[in-house]
Structures are given as structure tokens and as C-alpha cells.
Amino acid sequence: TEPCFMQKGEKKAVFQLPDTYYPDKYKSASSTLADRFGSDATRTIPVRNIAMPNLSLPLQLPYHDQFSLWVPRHRQMAARLIDVFMGMRDLEDLQAVCSYCQLRMNPYLFNYCLSVAILHREDTKGVNIPTFAETFPDKFMDPKVFRQAREVSTTVTDGNRMPIVIPQNYTASEWDLEQRVAYFREDIGLNLHHWHWHLVYPFDASDRAIVAKDRRGELFYYMHQQIIARYSAERLCNDLGFPRRYNNFREPIEEGYFPKLDSQVASRAWPPRFAGSTIRDLDRPVDQIRSEVSELETWRDRFVEAINTLKVKLPNGREMALDEATGIDTLGNMMESSILSPNRQYYGDLHNMGHVFISYSHDPDHRNLEQFGVMGDSATAMRDPVFYRWHAYVDDLFQMYKSKLPPYTNDALDFPGIRVMSVGIQGGAGGRNVLSTQWEQSSVDLGRGLDFTPRGSVLARFTHLTHDNFNYVIEVNNTSGRGVMGTVRIFLAPTMDDAGNRLAFRDQRRLMIELDKFTQTIPAGTSTITRSSVDSSVTIPYERTFRRQADRPGEPGSAEAADFDFCGCGWPHHLLVPKGTPKGFPMLLFCMISNWNEDRVVQDTAGVCNDAASYCGLRDRKYPDKRAMGFPFDRPASAGDIGSFLTPNMNVQECSIRFTNAVRQHGQQR
Ligand code: CUO
């Protein structure tokens, strides 16, 4: 068989399995299979014959079913399989159990658990697994592509194949207003980011260490808060109102969604949700789910009660205070919920089960034998308009807590001696303080994820939003008389609401999109900081979102290839800037320099990929900023508008985003 993963320095190899590893149906064909895959391999590696651990639980998920992180039964299966993979004493044993599983286990479950294990085992740092978009391209694109790919790959030889073009706007017509932001919701890179984020931050595992990452509950809140802020800006650019919260679980969901995705594994279309669907009590014996909508309401009420009293009830009957330093982290874990929730029995599983209820709204009692819709899968959930309604509500609950905290005092905000004289944008085609956006066509290779012969590369070309690179230019005056270290925090927010009224600070702060955050030496006197947009602490480059092993410049095992799965987490760079409008959409650029001595986290970050830490944190490290995530906008302030919020170490600049309706080819970056 093909290896589950490649070890350091390994190129092409084929794995020879002990006969006992083959499921009965393949036994007679095992030598033919070996020949087929072995023909272009450079060497054959025998797989160790080990006594298999007990895999009966994860093997209960049928091969052709979908797998959801959020379905409780699936979580148990995943937790067991992750345990098995984590428990293998060395890489050869891991390879052995993987090869065994690969032939019989549900591929989605298998891929998820193996990825989590590779990410968390000491001995798998630098081990490569194929990128998810290429393994399961069916989760990301129009199935027509696969029919065409099949045709192309059987009629045209590898090397002469033209890329297959994935159309834009294939899930709905313009009659559906929500379609105006489909370019964002259905962006392949965006959905990959979300899948990666949930891979890096699992909420369930029997090994607590896999879950217990520094401030993971707060990061759950913050990363999803930023999704809502960014989506809101995209909506405003497209003449749509703010995302409406899904806060009444008894009301129909106005938005429908017809995903037009086919599962290649299940040979079945993902079910749609009709406009006006209402979530209903779930009773699905196959998934061992029985849950009532009233449970969601109970959990919600208890969550709100914890915020109102600033106290959490513990299983032992005691209470724990939600304090300023860790309250949001605790609430994040309670809401999601993760196993770090202080009382999962009482506060339940609000966010996860919200996904589950919505994803089964078309068949809550399994009478139609349907599987869950796209909201049930972290790789596809962001395609659906209801995702943003659900997370807008989740964010509202977090904001309810933030509004209980005292506003930051000027002392907490200011950096005495440091004055930001100006901030601006340069380098785009549109001139000073203008950001330029347009479409771009890029390709992804489907060859790996298509289960047909002959093999080889089949490129799919898709169109996505992008922007011109630009620089931030910040003028600083340091009157402290000596060089100091500062943390530069850059945000961008709309200036007006959908009705054209100027946004008050209380609304604008929640729309602040983090663009970048970096540490900077500031010499005494006046100086100018120039920072390139491509260095953003929020994003990863296009190549990292999509790149496959063979395209990586470094050898496998090099620092570049190492940590691939962690490094695959990061907002896709092509979506750094909202779309804007042809006339130019007004935005406010914000810059703050805070005192690094108060922000810094002392740790060694050498060798970890640390260029997208804002939304993804750092592997095996603390979150590299001591302040609350989203600082200084995470709390309400008494300021009526942004002008009166500013301390001398902050400044703003009106700018605009100008969209040009043209398509450039990937690589033609200006
Ligand atoms: Cu990422 Cu609801 O947590 O989708």
C-alpha cells in the first residue's frame, strides 16, 4: 500500500504489508495491488507485523459515512483512535497500525486522528502528511470537477493535461442575496484554515495534554470573533446588513443552503437545508444521539447565569470566580465545550451541539436515512450562511462577559514617551491609503484525492479574492531618551454601518479586524517603521495553505517541511483584506504601539513556525502576547467614537478598499 506518512528524508516508497493486514475482500488481490502501486516506486519497505490494538470502536463508523468532530459518538471513536496512534511506541509501529487501519477504517475519521497524532507525537515532528485539500478535494469543490478530472485523466496523458476550471458562483443564483458573499464562505483556503484550526485545537481526547494548550478557550473565542468581524466587513462591502444572530432556537432559519458537494467516499451528495428550516429534537439511534432543543436552551441559560454572577458552578458544589485574567478562557472552554470545561455536566456542550442540531435539521430522526449537512464538518461549515449566524450569537455571549469587565484605563492603554505621529498605507496600485483588490486564479492538484487510474497530476483552477501587496508606514516619536521595544498592533474596521451612519465606538470595536502584530525596536527621537503586508502575523502565504509535499522547496524533514500541519493553520493571505467596492469602500486603519515589557512572554520560539500566531498560537508554546486577545478592542470603553478612545501611542487613518473586477493569474502579484 501507499505509506500513511513519509518519514524524514524518505522519497518515494511502497509498503509491503503482512498478509494478515488485508481485509478478506482484498486478500486474493493483495499481490496485484502491490504491483499496481509498486510500479513507479523506488523501493519497497516491509511493514512490521504487530499484534493490533483493540480498534473495534473506531471501526464501527461505516467506511462510507461522513465523520463529524461534533457528533458525540464520533468524538468517542476519534478519541479512541487518537489514543491508539499516540500510544504506538515508535514510528514503525505507528506505520504498521496505520497501514492496517487505512484498508478498513472510515477515511475521514482515519485522516483526522492520524493528523492529530502526527501533530502531537514527539517523534513525528517533521513527518509529512498530504494536504487535506488534495486528500479530500470533494469537501472543497464542485463535483463536476471530478467527473471532468476522470475524463481528462483517462484520455490525456500526464503532463499534457489542461487544468480544469472550477466555476465561481456555482451554489446559487443572484436571486439569493447571500450569494454575494459566497466568494468568502466557499473560499477553499478559508475552509482549510478552519479545518486546520480545529485540528490544532481538539476539544476532546483522553490525553488531556492534547487539549490543554495555553489559552485555547480564549483562542476559540478570538479566532471565531475575528471570523465574524471579517465576514461583517465583507457583507458591508456587498450591500448586506450585519450577520443576524441565531438566538432563537424555535424560529425558522431563513437562510437555506444547497452545498452542491458530493462525497467521493460516500458517493452521495451532501444534504441541503431548505430556507425556513427549524431545528428539532434529535433522535438518531444510528448516531446514538438523543437530545432536545430545550437542552440547548438550558445550557445557554446556565452560561448566561455564569456571566451575570461572574461565577461558575463546579461539580463538587463549590463555585469558581470568573476573573479578569482567565475568565474568557474558562468561558471559551465551557462554550465550545472542551474537556477543560470546569463542569461539562452542568454547562453542557452548547456550541458543538448547535452545529449538530443545525446540521441535522433536515432529518432529525433519521427517517430519511440522511447524514448531516455541511455545518457538521469543520472542513465545510464555513460555506453555509447559518455558520455566521450561529457564531455571531456565540460571540454575543462572549461579549456579554466582556462588557462586565471595567474599561481599560488610559494608563493601561498608553505607552509614555511613545507617540504614533501617523500611520498609513503605501504601495498599492491605487495610491496612498488605498488598498486594491481583485480576483486571482490559482490551481490545486486533485491527483492525490481521486480514486481512479491512471494516476498523475490533475490540476483544478479556481478563482479567489486577492489584493495587491502594500506597506504600513508608521511615524513614531520616542521622547523617552532611549531606545525601547514596542508591540505594534494594526487593525482595520469599517467606518459606517449598512445604513450609511457613522459607527459608534461600541459597534466599531467589535468590527476591528486584526491585520498584523509585531515587536519593534523604537530608537530615541523620530523614526519611521515600514512593514510589508506579506509579513502579517495573521496569515500564511498561499503556498502554505495549498502546497503539497513535492512542491516544498526544503527537503522533507527540513525546518520548512517540519510542523507542516501546525503551519497549515493561518488565515489565507489572499483574504487578508476585505473585498471593498469599485468606488472604494471606506475603512479606518488603526495602529497602536504598546509597551513590549508589559506584553512579552518569555520563551524560546526558535524552530517553531511563528508567522500566523495571532489566530493560531504557537506549537507547544504559550500564546506570544500577554494581553487579552483582541487588545485594546476586546472590552467596551466609555468613548463615544474612536477619536476619543485614542491615547498618544495610537493613531488612525481613513483609507479605502478599491475592488477591480478583473482576474489575474497566480504569481502575477504586483
Ligand atoms: Cu469553528 Cu463552530 O467552531 O466552527
Strand pairing report for 164-165 and 525-532: unpaired
Residue 189 has pLDDT above 80, yes or no: yes
Q: Given the CA of residue 223, which atom of ligand 1 is nearest to it?
A: 1
pLDDT digits (tens, 9 = 90+) for 234-254: 999 999 999 999 999 999 999
Q: Is 336 a catalytic residue?
A: yes
Cell numbers for 304: 448566561
* pLDDT score recorded for residue 502: 96
Cis peptide before 454 (omega within 30 of 0): yes
Q: Given the CA of residue 198, which atom of ligand 1 is nearest to it?
A: 1
Average predicted confidence (pLDDT) for the chain: 88
- Which of 70, 378, 395, 571 for mutating ligand 1's site (highest number of atoms within 8 Å of CB)? 378
Residue 563 has pLDDT above 70, yes or no: no
Structural contact between residues 282 and 363, judged by C-beta atoms closer than 8 angstroms: no
User: Could you say which of 218, 234, 336, 440 is catalytic?
Assistant: 336
User: How far away, in angstroms, is 357 Cα from ligand 1 center?
Assistant: 14
In Å, how far from its chain's centre is CA 570?
A: 7
Structural contact between residues 298 and 348, judged by C-beta atoms closer than 8 angstroms: yes
pLDDT digits (tens, 9 = 90+) for 643-664: 999 999 999 999 999 999 999 9
The maximal CA–CA distance of the chain, rounded, in angstroms, is: 81
pLDDT digits (tens, 9 = 90+) for 93-120: 998 998 899 888 998 899 889 888 888 8
pLDDT digits (tens, 9 = 90+) for 404-426: 999 999 999 999 999 999 999 99
User: How far away, in angstroms, is 349 Cα from ligand 1 center?
Assistant: 13
Cα separation, 286 vs 182, whole angstroms: 33
The pTM score is 0.92
* pLDDT score recorded for residue 483: 97
Cα separation, 608 vs 567, whole angstroms: 9
Cell numbers for 40: 513507479
User: How far away, in angstroms, is 378 Cα from ligand 1 center?
Assistant: 7
* pLDDT score recorded for residue 353: 96
Q: What is the dihedral of CA 221, 222, 225, 226, to 10 degrees?
A: -160
Residue 580 has pLDDT above 50, yes or no: yes
Q: Whose CA is nearest to atom 4 of ligand 1?
A: 378
pLDDT digits (tens, 9 = 90+) for 521-540: 999 999 999 999 999 999 99
Q: Which residues line ligand 1 (CB under 6 A)?
A: 194, 198, 224, 351, 355, 378, 381, 391
What confidence category does residue 548 fall into, taking pLDDT thresholds of 50, 70 and 90?
very low
Q: Given the CA of residue 194, which atom of ligand 1 is nearest to it?
A: 1
Domains of the chain: 14-124 (1.20.1370.10), 177-402 (1.10.1280.10), 410-426+471-656 (2.60.40.1520)
Cα separation, 140 vs 402, whole angstroms: 35
- Which of 70, 75, 201, 224 for mutating ligand 1's site (highest number of atoms within 8 Å of CB)? 224
* pLDDT score recorded for residue 156: 72
pLDDT digits (tens, 9 = 90+) for 582-604: 999 999 999 999 999 999 999 98
> 350-359 vs 385-402: helix axis angle to the nearest 10?
160
pLDDT digits (tens, 9 = 90+) for 119-132: 888 888 777 666 66
Cell numbers for 291: 437530545
More confident residue, 212 or 165: 212
Which residue in 21, 44, 12, 16 sits closest to 103, CA to CA? 21
Residue 496 has pLDDT above 90, yes or no: yes
Cα separation, 249 vs 278, whole angstroms: 8
Cα separation, 429 vs 422, whole angstroms: 21
18: phi > 0 → left, psi -120 to 50 → alpha, else beta; which?
beta
User: How far away, in angstroms, is 90 Cα from ligand 1 center?
Assistant: 33
Cα separation, 121 vs 456, whole angstroms: 31
